[in-house]
Amino acid sequence: MTKYVIALDQGTTSSRAIIFNHQGEIVNVAQKDFTQHFPEPGWVEHNPEAIWSTQLSVMQEAIAKARVREDEIAAVGITNQRETTMIWDRKTGEPIARAIVWQDRRTARYCDSLKEEHGEFIRKKTGLVIDAYFSASKVRWLLDNVEGAREKAEKGELAFGTVDSWLVWRLTEGKVHVTDPSNASRTMLFNIHTMQWDDELLELFQVPKSLLPEVKSSSEIYGYVDSRYILGGKVPIAGIAGDQQAALFGQMCTKKGMVKNTYGTGCFLLMNTGEEVVESKNNLLSTVAWKIGDKITYALEGGVFVGGAAIQWVRDGLRAIRTSDAINSLAATVEDNGGVYFVPCLAGMGAPYWDQYARGTIIGITRGTTDAHIARATLEGIALQVHDIVRAMEKDIGQETQEFRVDGGASASDLLMQIQADVFQFDIIRPKVLETTALGAAYLAGLAVGFWNSTEEISDQWQRDRSFSPEMEKEKLEKILRYWNKAVKAAQQWVEE
């Protein structure tokens, strides 16, 4: 009798493995950080081998610590940092270069050159705004800048993948090269209406079709973990979803109109739009949420590139705190931000501004400003960025948000959640299980193998931990929003070269 599902949660700064039981409860967790590489300003890279080795080791560690036998594992699900781009040799499995991470801005100028002529054409096909964030320009950069890469790619000797494809390839010892629609829809090479790799986009970005993985659904058996990694070699890999879509599923936002926000390295807000693509008039993205069986579910998305990473910067760059959690107690020592505003666009601005040349800005500093004011301004900066996305989303769908589910590491901060409720002027709901990204991958894998019978069965497991209701007076909020908008304008278009 299988008892567990394992979720591999490959994130931007760490790899994790979480074992869930049939009740959706966490049995065991293992996590390892890996090195971030910043070879030039605005460049962010990962070593694909480091991603693989940390992900493999945490999977094996979690299984060992929980004393789980291989015949007790129903399936493995994968969720991953999206858009991060890697290319490897099909014969040797060797990466041709480091992975270019989703935060990387090296292709910003090239993307700018496409906007006027191709912006609407690309948005209609992909639901995306042209930006260096997505995979297509990164693939082209690797093919053009790694010696011999384009020639090898033209001969069919190389494979491209987002992180999910890389992990499945390695877990199956090169037998399976796949992705799912939630990841494919973030490459800017995939038509979200036809659900196919698009020949016109491949031609525009000069990407050979032979590089690409096969696009399967988000919940089916793709292959089996090789016996050298889990003894027996009969454990199916059965669920794949990009991290934000996995969190939407893990939060059980399975009905049209339901919204979640994940407070991770960045903040990513998704709304389930059902079986239709909602074309945004307010600079949001239309994306595939998941495909289960023949049914495709779409979502509207807004992304903040720097959310929890702003807290990490206060810890590691500013050295105002020793641990990330300490920002809460420091910020709580002051009643307000003291007139200080922090726009934490340390990697450019995402939705709804899409400014690749914005940079982080702290404004309003006086002689009375303390580290506590900057700490509070950091938390407010995260919440206010999310606020701007929700208001854009409400304009797109023509209705006000009724319920807002939160998850991710920073959502454990009661102070941040209270600030978020104050900014929104409606309730914020936090679930008991905050690991909803991993949980979503586990649910998708479990559904594929009959570990769970239906999404209705899974929905009954979702439980709220706490709700946060607004406490701030509207006049005070209006003042904060007025100054926030001024601060955003100050941060925009900073880089000129």
Residue numbering of the annotated binding site for ADP = 12, 16, 265, 308, 409
Q: Which residue has the tokens 């190389």?
A: 158
Q: Which residues are annotated as a binding site?
A: 12-14, 16, 82-83, 133, 243-244, 265, 308, 312, 409
> Number of H helices and number of E strands within the chain?
15, 23
Amino acid at 46: H
Distances (CA, A) of 296 to 193, 214, 216, 253, 285: 10, 17, 12, 14, 16
CA distance 431 to 421: 15
CA distance 221 to 451: 13
CA distance 70 to 168: 18
CA distance 149 to 143: 5
10 Å Cβ neighbour count for 228? Answer: 10
Q: Would you call the peptide bond into 352 cis, given omega within 30 degrees of 0 as the criterion?
A: yes
Q: Are the beta carbons of 410 and 263 closer than 8 angstroms?
A: yes
Q: Are the beta carbons of 169 and 159 closer than 8 angstroms?
A: yes
Q: Are the beta carbons of 299 and 289 closer than 8 angstroms?
A: yes
Amino acid at 325: D
Q: Which residues are annotated as a binding site for glycerol?
A: 82-83, 133, 243-244
Q: Which residues are annotated as a binding site for ATP?
A: 12-14, 265, 308, 312, 409
H or E, element range at 378: helix 371-397
Q: Are the beta carbons of 98 and 47 closer than 8 angstroms?
A: yes
Q: Which residues, in sequence order, are CB contacts of 309 under 8 Å at separation 6+?
A: 265, 266, 344, 346, 347
**Is 184 strand, coil or helix?**
helix
Comparing C-alpha atoms, which of 212, 222, 18, 203 is closest to residue 114?
203
Q: Which residues, in sequence order, are CB contacts of 325 under 8 Å at separation 6+?
A: 413
Sign of CA dihedral 173, 224, 70, 17: positive
Q: Which residues are annotated as a binding site for sn-glycerol 3-phosphate?
A: 12, 82-83, 133, 243
User: Torsion angle of alpha carbons 478, 484, 486, 489, nearest 10°?
Assistant: -140
